[in-house]
Amino acid sequence: MQLPVEQLVGLLLKEIGLHKLKIAIAFSVISLLVLGLGVTWPNRYTAFTNILVEEQVLDPDATRAVHATGIQRDQVGMARELVFSQKIMDEVLRAANLINDGTTPLERERIIDSVKNRTEFSRGNPTLLKIQYTSTNPQEAYLVTKNIGEVFVRESTEDTQRKAVEEFNFYENQVREYSKKLVESEQKRNDISKDNISATPGNEADVNSRINALRLRIEQSQLELKETEIRKKTVQDQLSGEAEITIALSREGQYRQRIAELQQELETLRLSYHDTYPDIVRIKHQIVDLKESITAERRKVEAAKSTEQKGTTRIDEGVALSPLYQQLKNELSQTKTLIATLNTRITENQNLLNKELDRARRIHDVEVKLADITRDYGANRTHYENLLRNRDNAKDAMNKLLSRKGATLIIKEPASLPQKPSGLQFIHFLLGGIALGLLLPLTVVYAMIILDPRIRSAAIITEQFKLPVLAAIPWLNSPEEKVLLLKHNRIVALIFSGVIVIYIVVAILKLNKVI
């Protein structure tokens, strides 16, 4: 249960009185142990240096290029990795006289691990890097810190300059490569244009117009050819027998007209002469001859029809010599010539049309090729211009870094020899020993009061068991116990006095650097 503060203090003082000898002994042991630790505790000296990254000279583009070439924002990681390298550690430890040619490899590794564990890297602000080293020897702390800072600045600067040169060379090679690509693309475009002069893009309208004109010519020629073939068929039909029949029928009509004229003349002569009159006889004979001619013509017509039905053509010599037949013959020859001309025209126009169609296809192919080349050329051109800008920025950054006018590392605050130790000092052990010697035993007593289940106060009986307390009998010491108690008090006083004297003597000796 929880006791009131005044009762808890009373119980604590009572227990201290009962166990004061034990508390005094514990106090002396703890305080003297802490004092001994303080006497043997070595002083630690810490040296540090601050390194600043300057960028005030560079313009934004050049600063961006410097960042790309190696001026890192995480200087802590870079510094730790660089300084703890084998080469740098050898140089730093030799400069601080921590190793020499006679140092064994095992001892050398032990010293390197010890230096690594006592070296710290931190960032004071985004542009300030702090390097500090702690050692029991102030001269060692100074030399190690000084050499770490100088080597780090030197190696970082050389590494940054090397990366800047590499970055510039990279962009320079890229610029050359893309310049070559642009020249090749331009040459390809020129070669395609030379090889396809008649199929260059932009002639689509002329080609389409010519294709339409050729198709119109072919259609017109084909239509004219059909008309001419019909005309040829008609002329051939006329020459195959129908012409002869027509001619024959025309001759029969002439014969009949002549007979009619002779009959009229005969009637006129009979009015004046007898039938024996020579003219009358002559006219009669002529009429008979004409009638025979009509019969002959009719036979010819029948023969022509019969020949036509058999599929052969029979041309009468008289018909062949007639002007009408000759006219039909000439017309048939002209028709055949026209048909041949039209066929030739159609064939030539079709060949021209095929050429124009092939030309149109080649124009499309050339357009596709030129579009691909133009697209690649545009992309390469854009990349080429970006590379030019990056190369110029990298060159500017490289020149400034090589001339040490650009972003560089400089030692803002060099390392100095530490004059005072850092960390725990003798005064801390001196005060801490007395405080710990008192607090630790008292803490044990207090814990014993809290954790001990025995009843130490009448209030606990009333509170816990609900029983009234009639009276409390105090402890009375016997004469022997009083003598023993007095003896214990003297021993406790002696112990505390001795510890204080020892502390004073050791402190004087320590301040005078006797121990």
Q: Compute the mean pLDDT over every residue in the chain, rounded to the nearest whole number.
A: 79
Closest alpha carbon to 380 in 179, 158, 208: 179
**Enclosing H/E stretch for 428:** helix 426-451
pLDDT digits (tens, 9 = 90+) for 33-87: 998 888 888 778 889 898 887 654 333 444 444 444 444 446 677 778 888 888 8
Task: Provide the token pair at 488.
Answer: 């214990």
Least confident of 30-39, 102-111, 248-257, 291-300: 248-257
What is the C-alpha separation between 151 and 93, in angstroms, rounded? 12
Least confident of 45-49, 113-117, 129-133, 357-361: 357-361
Please give the full DSSP string across 68-101, using - where no structure is assigned.
Answer: HHT--S-HHHHHHHHHTSHHHHHHHHHHTTS--T
Domains of the chain are: 1-41+424-515 (no CATH), 204-372 (1.10.287)
* 10-32 burial: b if 16+ Cβ within 10 Å, else e: ebeeebeeebbeebbebbbebbb
What is the C-alpha separation between 35 and 509, in angstroms, rounded? 13
**Enclosing H/E stretch for 194:** helix 138-195
Predicted local distance difference test score (pLDDT) of residue 429: 86
- End-to-end Cα separation, the chain, in angstroms: 52
Q: How far lies 247's CA from each of 287, 296, 340, 365, 487, in Å?
A: 21, 13, 30, 66, 184
Predicted local distance difference test score (pLDDT) of residue 73: 45
Pairing of strands 128-135, 408-413: unpaired
Name the CA radius of gyration of the chain, rounded.
68
Look-up: residue for tokens 């080349």?
A: 373
What does the pLDDT average to over 135-159?
87
Q: Is residue 38 helix, strand or coil?
A: helix
The size of the chain, in residues, is: 515
What is the C-alpha separation between 398 and 395, in angstroms, rounded? 5
The fraction of the chain above a pLDDT of 70, given in percent, is 81
pTM of the entire predicted model: 0.48
Model confidence at 459, in pLDDT bands (50, 70, 90)? low
DSSP 8-state code for residue 273: S
What is the C-alpha separation between 409 and 155, in angstroms, rounded? 10
- How many CB atoms lie under 10 A from the CB of residue 33? 13
What is the C-alpha separation between 442 and 59, in angstroms, rounded? 68
Pairing of strands 128-135, 119-125: antiparallel
